[in-house]
C-alpha cells in the first residue's frame, strides 16, 4: 500500500513551486506538514488538512477562516488521491480567489509524481524478483515447475523457442551503472525479449527463437550507439525451461572459457567451442591433464613457441602442407622438419586422425601465444 513520504512530498513542493508563484505545503494522513516551501512549517499540524481528511473534499480558507484554525494560513487545501485512496493533502498558500486557478494544476502535478513513484517502486520490486528467478533458473535443485509458477506470478511471458544469449560488458566501462543502462536500452529496443542482469558484468538475453540470430553487424550497430557491449555469446534456441537452464549454464562456461583463453572474437557461438568448453569446465582433472600431457612436453621443448604455432596452423589447414607452409611463410621442407620434431617430442603419429584430434582438442584448451 502506498504511503506518502517526506522525500516525495518535498519533491512535489519543489517541482510545483518552480512553476507557481505561491508557497506549497504537503501533508500526510495525520495532517502533519512533511513538505513545504517554508521550512519553518515542517512537522507542524495543519488543521485545514484535518478538515480535508475528515470530509475528503477541497477546503478553501480565507483570512477570517484561517485565523480560527491552528497552523493554517489562507489558501486552498486539496485531497491527494492515488488509486481512489486518500494518501495526503496538498495546500497552496494565498488568497483563495487568486490561487484557485492553480489548484488543479498542483493536484495534477502531485498525482503524476505519485504515480511515477509507484511505478518506479513496482519496477524495482519486479526487477529484484526477476533477478531471484534467474538465480533459481541456474540452481539445478530448484524445480522447473516452481520456475514456471514464479514466471507467471512475475508476468514473465514468452513463447518457445527461446535463444539464450549472454552479453558481457566492455571491460573499460563502469559496470555499476553500465549494466542497468544496457538492460534498459535493450528492453526498449527488444520489448518482446527477456533481459535480466547476470552477476555484475553480464546480461542474460532470452531472444525469440523465431527471429534471426544476431550477427557481427549487430555488434557494429551497438558500437555506433555507444552501448557498453564487449562480447556476445550465443547458444542454440531451446524449447523448454529444463533445456534453457542447461543452455544458460553452458553459456556461462563459454564465457569463462573465452576469458581464460583470451579469445579475441566478440561474437562467439557455443556450437563452435562445445567440446573445448566442456573439457575446460572439468579442469583441473586427471583426464584433462592426460589430454594435455603431450602438449606440455612440446611447450617445454619449444622455448620460442615456433612448434606450437606450426602445429596450430597445420591443424587449421587440415594437414595440407602447401597451404600451411604458405601461411607460415616457410619452405615445405622446413614445415616437414618441424612436424617431425613435433611427432618426436609428443610421441604421437601425426598421420593418425585420432592423434590429430587429441592435439586439436588439447590446443583448444591452451591460450594462443
Does residue 64 lie within any of the structural domains?
Answer: yes
**CA distances from residue 205 to 232, 251, 273, 345 in whole angstroms, order as listed:** 10, 11, 20, 46
**CA distances from residue 211 to 190, 207, 237, 244 in whole angstroms, order as listed:** 11, 8, 10, 17
Tell me, yes or no, whether 32 and 113 share the same domain. yes
Tell me, yes or no, whether 114 and 177 share the same domain. no
Residue 315 to residue 23: CA distance in whole angstroms: 80
Tens of pLDDT, residue by residue over 319-328, are: 999 999 999 9
Number of structural domains (the chain) is 3
Q: Which of 123, 144, 175 is the last residue of a domain?
A: 123
CATH number of the domain enclosing 266? 3.30.70.270
Banded pLDDT at 369 (limits 50, 70, 90): low
Tell me, yes or no, whether 252 and 287 share the same domain. no
Residue 271, classified by CB atoms within 10 Å of its CB into exposed (0-12), middle (13-18) or buried (19+), is exposed
Tell me, yes or no, whether 220 and 253 share the same domain. yes
Q: Whose grid coordinates read 486539496?
A: 78
Tens of pLDDT, residue by residue over 250-262, are: 999 999 999 999 8
Tens of pLDDT, residue by residue over 200-254, are: 899 999 998 777 888 899 999 999 999 999 999 999 999 999 999 999 999 999 9
Residue 176 to residue 187: CA distance in whole angstroms: 18
Does residue 357 lie within any of the structural domains?
Answer: yes
Residue 325 to residue 189: CA distance in whole angstroms: 48
Cis peptide before 161, with omega less than 30 degrees from 0? Answer: yes
CATH number of the domain enclosing 353? 1.10.10.2840
The domain of 291 spans 283-363
Q: Is 162 helix (H, G, I), strand (E, B) or coil?
A: strand
Q: Which residues contact 22 (CB under 8 A, 6 or more apart)?
A: 75, 92, 93, 94, 99, 102
Amino acid at each position: 500500500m502506498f504511503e506518502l513520504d517526506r522525500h516525495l512530498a518535498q519533491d512535489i513542493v519543489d517541482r510545483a513551486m518552480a512553476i507557481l508563484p505561491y508557497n506549497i505545503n504537503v501533508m500526510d494522513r495525520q495532517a502533519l506538514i512533511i513538505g513545504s516551501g517554508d521550512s519553518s512549517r515542517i512537522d507542524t499540524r495543519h488543521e485545514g488538512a484535518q478538515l480535508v481528511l475528515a470530509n475528503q473534499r477541497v477546503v478553501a480558507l480565507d483570512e477570517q477562516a484561517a485565523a480560527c484554525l491552528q497552523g493554517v494560513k489562507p489558501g486552498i487545501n486539496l485531497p491527494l488521491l492515488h488509486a481512489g485512496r486518500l494518501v495526503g493533502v496538498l495546500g497552496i498558500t494565498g488568497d483563495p480567489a487568486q490561487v484557485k486557478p492553480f489548484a488543479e494544476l498542483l493536484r495534477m502535478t502531485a498525482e503524476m509524481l505519485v504515480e511515477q513513484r509507484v511505478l518506479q517502486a513496482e519496477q524495482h520490486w519486479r526487477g529484484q524478483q526477476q533477478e531471484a528467478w534467474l538465480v533459481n533458473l541456474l540452481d539445478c535443485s530448484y524445480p522447473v515447475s516452481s520456475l514456471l509458477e514464479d514466471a507467471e506470478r512475475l508476468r514473465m511471458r514468452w513463447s518457445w523457442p527461446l535463444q539464450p544469449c549472454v552479453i558481457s560488458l566492455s571491460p573499460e566501462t563502469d559496470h555499476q551503472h553500465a549494466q542497468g543502462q544496457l538492460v534498459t536500452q535493450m528492453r526498449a529496443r527488444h520489448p518482446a525479449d527477456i533481459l535480466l542482469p547476470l552477476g555484475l558484468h553480464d546480461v542474460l538475453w532470452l531472444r525469440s527463437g523465431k527471429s534471426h540470430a544476431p550477427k557481427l553487424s549487430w555488434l557494429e550497430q551497438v558500437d555506433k550507439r555507444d552501448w557498453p557491449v564487449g562480447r556476445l555469446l550465443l547458444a542454440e534456441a531451446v524449447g523448454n525451461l529444463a533445456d534453457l537452464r542447461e543452455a544458460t549454464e553452458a553459456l556461462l562456461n563459454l564465457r569463462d572459457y573465452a576469458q581464460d583463453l583470451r579469445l579475441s572474437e566478440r561474437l562467439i557461438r557455443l556450437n563452435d567451442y562445445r567440446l573445448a568448453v566442456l573439457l575446460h569446465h572439468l579442469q583441473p582433472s586427471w583426464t584433462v591433464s592426460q589430454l594435455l600431457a603431450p602438449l606440455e612436453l612440446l611447450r617445454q621443448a619449444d622455448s620460442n613457441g615456433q612448434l606450437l604455432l606450426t602445429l596450430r596452423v597445420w591443424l587449421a589447414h587440415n594437414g595440407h602442407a602447401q597451404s600451411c607452409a604458405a601461411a607460415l611463410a616457410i619452405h615445405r621442407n622446413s614445415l616437414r622438419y618441424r612436424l617431425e620434431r613435433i611427432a618426436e617430442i609428443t610421441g604421437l603419429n601425426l598421420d593418425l586422425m585420432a592423434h590429430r584430434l587429441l592435439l586439436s582438442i588439447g590446443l583448444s584448451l591452451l591460450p594462443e601465444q
